[in-house]
Chains A and B, each alone.
Chain A
Amino acid sequence: MKLRFDPVLLLALPAAIYMVIVFAIPVVVLVARGFMGADGFTLSNYSSFLSEPFNWVVIGNTLRVAFWTTVVCLALGYPTAVALARSKGAVQVAMLIAIILPLSVGVVVKTFAWQIVLRRDGIVAAILVATGVWDEPKLLLFTEHGLVMGAANVFLPFMILPIYSVLKLADPNLQDAAATLGAPPVFRFFNVALPLAMPGIVGGVSIVFSLATSMYVIPSLLIGDRFQTLATLTGRAFLLMRNEALGATTATILLFLAVAIVACSALLSRGKGDSR
């Protein structure tokens, strides 16, 4: 087919021009300035940032919390997505409200509520004592466990919805077919159910992981200043320390992490498509 100029294309111009000027150029300039020194291209901003042992603690904090948040979200989110795909009628509507309502309520509202839940006399401590996990109530607020719990709560819908939208497209007869052909349940899970859900899992994991690496309000309110992540350090550098060079460096590292996550998930889902 020969491509001719299509006048409909002009309709896309205002949005495209707006996004190039207000969004793309500022982001490119931010990244470029990080590599600019007094005399041209330099890596000194990054090498000096990475030579500081404290900053490795910060990077470690960021990745560790994001990892555990993603693990909790996947462990709770996959079974919930399966249940949501199997449910019907009123149960399904109730589950959808429970997933979409928290998604639409602000992060500050939810994090504020988690400050109350994680107190020494809060709900989680009461449950852990009642079930015998803890001997006495302890403070979960200002701990990493509390932070992971709050973050997983906020990001869970982003894990459930992509997995659900893939599961709902999968033919339920495939499971029965595998059973009829004599595949035992565990074999069916690993060879039929899990591969079918894989695109959704890859999508959910990459969204939750990248949201968790760049969260700012949740750690500021749930764990405080003693525990720094790349995002909280970025915010502090700009808003409190007035150290914009540091903030621009950490922001660019966050940006590279986000791009790397998107690229990895695209590669993973493409690899799946080829093997079919």
Chain B
Amino acid sequence: MTLTERTANVAVWAIAAATVIFLLTPLVVAIVVSFGSSNLFTLPPPGWSMRWYQRLMNVRGLSSSLIVSAQIAAVATLVSMLIGGMAATALARGRFAGREAIAAFLTSPLMLPGLVLGIAFLQAFRYAGLRDVWLSLALAHVVITIPYIARTLYSALTLFDFSLIDAARTLGCSAPQAVTRVLIPNLAPAFLTSGIFAFLASMDNYAVSIFFTNAWTKTLPIQMLNLVEEQPDPTIAAISSLLIGLVLLLLLLCERMVGLRKIAEM
């Protein structure tokens, strides 16, 4: 190796290490602050305590917003998996013109600014006379989750060898059996990861939800945004740490089932 190459190599690894530290900084800060005894966000904290976790129960509207978010995310993810999964099957199996165009259409909400989607939904739902907050959120969140499902399942289905199903049929499986015993186990990892990322995208969404929440029905990101703006104290760090823990668990599940490398390459 020449000197230039060695220098370049050292620089690449130094920047990569700095980037890893940079990326993890906000998560570590939130966790450390949540266990600190001071309410002034001093780093490092003067002492340790669990008081912010004990306070979580008393924060008004927090648990109800968590329930709303989880419900909306679950409903949106399930509906997207059903209709998105059917669409992905059609696109991967069918021989018709414009397949790529339909696939691009189904993933296009990802390319548009979230606020623009929110405003378009707001005006359309108002025009249609839809006033129910919960239903508005659910309808809008299906649009947010469909791209994740359609994209991942479409690419998984195009890689799946469908002659395996014919083989199962020849060996005596009925058509539904062939699907449940061959197709579904093979695609389970793709279903799982696309479902988890769709669910997290819905749980994390603020740009669309902000136009539909009111004083009584709020999603978790909106409730947290209000808390950060009104009374910032380490209680928010405690919620954040719990969410980080939840995401870490889900990612470990993905790593077990699929492997993180596959997820990174999706």
Contact = CB atoms under 8 A, between A and B. Distances in A.
A248 to B, nearest CB: 7
B13 A121 contact: no
B203 A76 contact: no
Contacts of B230: none
Contacts of B56: none
A105 B243 contact: yes
Interface stretch (A16-24, A36-44, A52-60, A128-136): A16-24
A238 B122 contact: yes
Nearest to B18: A76
Contacts of B250: 104
Contacts, number: 267
Given A27-B116, A112-B240, A8 B93 contact: yes
Interface size class for chain B? 35 or more
B19 A76 contact: yes
Interface string B1-42: 010110010011101101110111111011001000000011
Contacts of B22: 76, 153, 156
Contacts of A84: 16
B86 interface: yes
Contact of B106 (A8, A19, A105, A258): A19
B183 interface: no
B206 A107 contact: yes
B113 A210 contact: yes
A68 interface: no
Do most interface residues of chain B lie in helix, strand or loop, or is the interface mixed? Answer: helix
Contact of A8 (B90, B122, B261): B90
Given A83-B16, A106-B221, A3 B87 contact: no
Given A9-B96, A122-B43, A254-B116, A14 B86 contact: yes
A262 B237 contact: no
Contacts of A247: 119
A243 interface: no
Nearest to A188: B5
Contact of B123 (A29, A99, A110, A153): A29
Given A3-B96, A22-B143, A11 B89 contact: yes
B114 A216 contact: yes
B115 interface: yes
Interface string B113-143: 1111101111110000000000000011011
Interface of A: 1, 3, 5-6, 8-12, 14-16, 18-19, 22-27, 29-30, 33, 75-77, 79-80, 82-84, 92-102, 104-117, 119, 121-123, 153, 156-157, 160-161, 164-165, 168, 184-186, 189, 210, 213-214, 216-217, 221, 231, 234-235, 238-239, 247-248, 251-252, 254-255, 258, 262
18 contacts: A12-B102, A15-B83, A23-B109, A26-B124, A30-B116, A98-B20, A100-B263, A105-B244, A108-B206, A108-B228, A112-B236, A116-B29, A119-B41, A121-B42, A184-B4, A239-B210, A254-B115, A254-B116
Given A16-B105, A79-B16, 13 more contacts: A15-B84, A22-B121, A29-B120, A33-B123, A80-B15, A105-B27, A108-B221, A110-B26, A112-B240, A185-B2, A235-B210, A238-B119, A251-B116
Interface of B: 2, 4-5, 8, 11-13, 15-16, 18-20, 22-27, 29-30, 33, 41-43, 83-84, 86-87, 89-91, 93-97, 102, 105-106, 109, 111-117, 119-124, 139-140, 142-143, 146, 150, 197, 200, 203-204, 206-207, 210-211, 221, 224-225, 228-229, 232, 236-237, 239-240, 243-244, 247-248, 250-251, 255, 260-261, 263-265
The 10 A-B pairs of least Cβ separation, nearest first, read A214-B113, A83-B16, A113-B26, A26-B124, A12-B90, A15-B87, A11-B90, A26-B120, A79-B15, A109-B240
